[in-house]
Amino acid sequence: MKQSLLFVPTLKEAPKDAEVRSHKLMSRAGLVKQVAAGIYSYLPLGYRVIKKIENIIREELDKIGSSELLMPALQPRDLWEESGRWDKYGPELMRLTDRKDREFCLGPTHEEIITQVVRDYLNSYKKLPLALYQIQTKFRDEMRPRFGLMRGREFIMKDAYSFHETEAELDEWYKKFAQAYTTIFARCGLATRIVSSDVGQIGGNEADEFMVMSEVGEDTITYCMSCSYAANQEHSGLEEGDKCPVCGGTIKTAKGIEVGNIFKLGTKYSESMNAKVINKDGQQVPVVMGCYGIGISRTLMASVEQHSSDDGIVWPDEIAPFKVHLIPINYDNDVQKEVTDTLYQELIESGIEVLLDDRKERAGVKFKDADLIGLPFRVIIGKDASDGKVEFVDRKQGEKTVLPVAEVINNI
């Protein structure tokens, strides 16, 4: 891809409201642009990363036998009346009326819709288990949108819903999802910790959150120094220094960014919305449900927060927007252009994603932007091009070497 056509509006200064490093860098590197409080456009570079995260999620969820669908953002009031949430949900729920004065909300979550989607079809235990997911834009009217994509009002989520005959089967799938989540986040360059949590407005019997430990996290995690106990402080109510409720060890606290959550919903929605099956004993019973969320825009932000310095991002391999940044010092110079264009074609033909900085900018500007953008490998084509040599930089190692052009691809 040629940078002149990609649209990467890098900035010298971060917006004034950007308090944390990831928010500053995502704005400065031209990944996102704010439209209104908590509402962003994902610019081409940022959206490439979003699509990579989405595809990792698809791969891992397809593996466990979950299928993708897409439900609407507009949800009619009558379905939320059935579940009893229309009156209970607070001002975070964005509501509107259509031209015929019928009421709708913009979905912050899809328990009602998924139950409407499956309930006519699910008549027998033979149709279970079933696990469906979607990747979709969600809406939540946060009182105080902040930290860029961390707490937005319009954001991208993966939400999944599973349906079962028994609690035991739900437990099995709950574990499958938890394992898939750990893999997904690891592939996005994030180490996560599973912590017990409250069920909140989703409801149900049990819930866990996937946390990325980070100073800028908005959640406080309480965890035991001696055993594997870990819980959101909202859930545990523990302080520093308290005793672990499991083993009596010492509780510590740390800040975390919640990137995923999983809930055992039980029969909360299937009872109120009448999603029932005939079980193996010939009885009609409500299906047992689970639900599973991943904040995709937040995962992007958490990854930038963890993989960056003040100068720029250092992308984890699997979600880097491109693998290689080709930077000719002077693209108007015939030799440099020739070497650059040949290498660009070779990289494309080898299936390596490459960004070519073909802009008419000074080398200093190009380097500064390249630092911000932070692709895993950088190839600088300068005066040595006439000797068939280029500078090769491994962003993670920070190593610079001068290489013959022919050896570039082998080093990637």
43 contributes a contact to its own copies by CB under 8 A: yes
247 contributes a contact to its own copies by CB under 8 A: no
116 contributes a contact to its own copies by CB under 8 A: yes
Nearer to its own copies, 3 or 182 (CB): 3
Nearer to its own copies, 138 or 235 (CB): 138
Nearer to its own copies, 48 or 366 (CB): 48
Residue 144, both tokens: 């105080």
Residue 302, both tokens: 């958490």
Q: Which of 108, 257, 243 is nearest to 192 (CA)?
A: 257
68 contributes a contact to its own copies by CB under 8 A: yes
172 contributes a contact to its own copies by CB under 8 A: no
Q: Which of 102, 104, 84, 85 is nearest to 94 (CA)?
A: 104
Q: Give the β-pairing of 67-68 and 130-139.
A: parallel
Residue 363, both tokens: 């080398």
15 contributes a contact to its own copies by CB under 8 A: no
Nearer to its own copies, 51 or 337 (CB): 51
The single-letter code of the amino acid at 211 is M
Q: How far is the CB of 410 from its own copies (least distance, A)?
A: 27
CB 116 within 8 A of CB 161: no
Per CB under 8 A, the list member of 2, 88, 175, 243 interacting with its own copies is 2
- The site that binds its own copies (CB under 8 A) totals a number of residues, namely 60
Nearer to its own copies, 154 or 209 (CB): 154
281 contributes a contact to its own copies by CB under 8 A: no
Q: How far is the CB of 89 from its own copies (least distance, A)?
A: 12
Burial of 57 (0-12, 13-18, 19+ CB in 10 A): buried
Burial of 164 (0-12, 13-18, 19+ CB in 10 A): buried
Angle in degrees, CA 84, 259, 275, rounded to 5: 30
CB 73 within 8 A of CB 96: no
Nearer to its own copies, 42 or 185 (CB): 42
Nearer to its own copies, 8 or 244 (CB): 8
40 contributes a contact to its own copies by CB under 8 A: yes
CB 138 within 8 A of CB 156: yes
Q: How far is the CB of 123 from its own copies (least distance, A)?
A: 10
Radius of gyration of the chain (CA): 25
Per CB under 8 A, the list member of 18, 25, 49, 132 interacting with its own copies is 132
Per CB under 8 A, the list member of 81, 141, 167, 394 interacting with its own copies is 141
The answer for residues whose C-beta is within 8 angstroms of residue 202's C-beta and 6 or more apart is 109, 111, 263, 265, 291
Q: How far is the CB of 354 from its own copies (least distance, A)?
A: 14
CA distance 392 to 380: 6
For residue 45, give the H/E element and its range: helix 44-63
Residues interacting with its own copies, by CB under 8 A? 1-2, 4-7, 9, 33, 35-36, 39-44, 47-48, 50, 65-76, 79, 91-92, 94-96, 98-99, 102, 104, 106, 113, 116-118, 120-121, 126-127, 130-132, 137, 139, 141, 143, 153-154, 360
